[in-house]
Amino acid sequence: MAGARRRLGTLLFPDFELLDVCGPLEVLGHLKDHFEVGLVAEQAGPVRSIQGVALVAEHDLDGCPPLDVLLVPGGLGTRREVDNVRLLAWLRARSEAAALVMTVCTGSGLLARSGALDGRRATSNKRAFEWATSQGPHVDWVRRARWVDDGKFVTSSGVSAGIDMTLHVVAREIDGALAEEIAWRIEHAWHRDPDADPFVEPRS
């Protein structure tokens, strides 16, 4: 991916988790020479997050241009979208065509339901881990992980973990020093160890 400007599409659906989208895009927004970032939904236009804030999708599923990178967020809306046959078919096809697919939180459960993660290692939000893993019985789920890098597919744990995952992807695909610089710019304490998962144990 280094040296090439790639088109990244972020999927929106009603009741997506806001930081799942805005965290990674905050990181990638510092890399305009490397990424062209867009938002896509079943229908173009405003899509409301579970927090009540709406983001505007430029493309609908049919009008979305080819994507080099796909980002799938989580949120309570994933519980509904796992039964959305049209969306699942789109996710499967776009995952096959993309060079890199990233998920945040229960976005991995949605992607798993499409079959795209079969035979892959992946993780998800620990508070919703049982639900997410039930969507992909043929996925090698990793409970203790801040994120899991399985080559083409990189999945993160819950919400803010998507920022750590995205910085990792920047370091892997472009430059480690640049990832460090972005973390410093956004004043983010980057969790660099994917196996250091402070949220895997239940709260006492």
- Report d(CA 195, CA 108) in Å as an integer: 17
- Report d(CA 60, CA 17) in Å as an integer: 19
Question: Beta-carbon neighbour count of residue 138 at 10 Å?
Answer: 10
Give the helix/strand (H/E) hosting 41: strand 35-41
Three-state secondary structure call for residue 51: coil
- Report d(CA 171, CA 178) in Å as an integer: 7
Among this protein's residues, is 105 annotated catalytic? yes
126: amino acid identity, one letter: K
The catalytically annotated residue of 12, 31, 40, 105 is 105
- Report d(CA 153, CA 121) in Å as an integer: 8
- Report d(CA 69, CA 106) in Å as an integer: 18
Is residue 133 within 8 A of residue 139, CB to CB? The reply is yes
Is residue 44 within 8 A of residue 57, CB to CB? The reply is yes
Residues with active-site annotation? 105
